[in-house]
Amino acid sequence: MEDYDPVSTPLDNNQKLITETHQPSKHEIDYMKTVPYQEAIGSILYATQVSRPDLFFAVGAFSRFNNNSSKSYWIAVKRLFRYIKGTIIYKLEYTRDIEGCLEGFSDAEWVSDSDDRKSTTGYLFKYQGGPISWKTRKTKTNK
């Protein structure tokens, strides 16, 4: 990945990662056995929890395909590494603000996952200019 150009976003908006319609071919299954897909996801997971909340959504999406990944998912993971390469200087930074400003943000994506028809929601809280708490999750539904 050393010679790859960085990208400005962690995921490609034009690529849909869908499990229910994807049936990998025998060739794809054999290829994915040679690829460190789960190891790559695991290596980024730690960073999402301690210093890089911008990677959290992508890692969560890729984790859903640990048992049913394909070459297109592997390409998407490599794109995430290209994003990390271009944003390696990103860090959590706290400022000395006398007022001690606490900020909160939230967002939701309504039923955009065509696999399970669940929405994704998330929040981020910042104090002194740096994030102190963040989370994304799929919404729970009553059946």
What average pLDDT does this structure show over 63-90? 88
Q: Kindly tell me if the per-residue pLDDT of 7 is higher than 90.
A: yes
Average model confidence (pLDDT) across the chain: 82
Residues 77, 138 within the same domain:
no
What average pLDDT does this structure show over 19-24? 62
pTM value is: 0.74
pLDDT for res 143: 59
Q: Kindly tell me if the per-residue pLDDT of 18 is higher than 80.
A: no
Q: Is 48 helix (H, G, I), strand (E, B) or coil?
A: helix
Residues 81, 126 within the same domain:
no
Residues 85, 26 within the same domain:
yes
Q: Kindly tell me if the per-residue pLDDT of 22 is higher than 80.
A: no
The model's pLDDT over 105-121, given as tens digits with 9 standing for 90+, comes to 998 887 665 666 778 88
Q: Which of 48, 76, 91 is the last residue of a domain?
A: 91
Q: Which of 91, 113, 134 is the last residue of a domain?
A: 91
The model's pLDDT over 53-76, given as tens digits with 9 standing for 90+, comes to 888 888 888 888 887 788 888 999
Structural domain range at position 63: 1-91
Q: Kindly tell me if the per-residue pLDDT of 6 is higher than 60.
A: yes
d(CA 9, CA 113): 19
User: Both ends of the chain: CA-CA distance in Å?
Assistant: 44
Q: Is 102 helix (H, G, I), strand (E, B) or coil?
A: strand
Q: Kindly tell me if the per-residue pLDDT of 28 is higher than 80.
A: yes
pLDDT for res 125: 92
Element (DSSP H or E) covering residue 63: helix 56-63
Q: Kindly tell me if the per-residue pLDDT of 77 is higher than 90.
A: yes
Give the CA distances from residue 45 to residues 48, 51, 120, 130, in Å, rounded to whole numbers and listed in that order.
Answer: 5, 10, 18, 20
Residues 106, 75 within the same domain:
no
Q: Kindly tell me if the per-residue pLDDT of 97 is higher than 90.
A: no
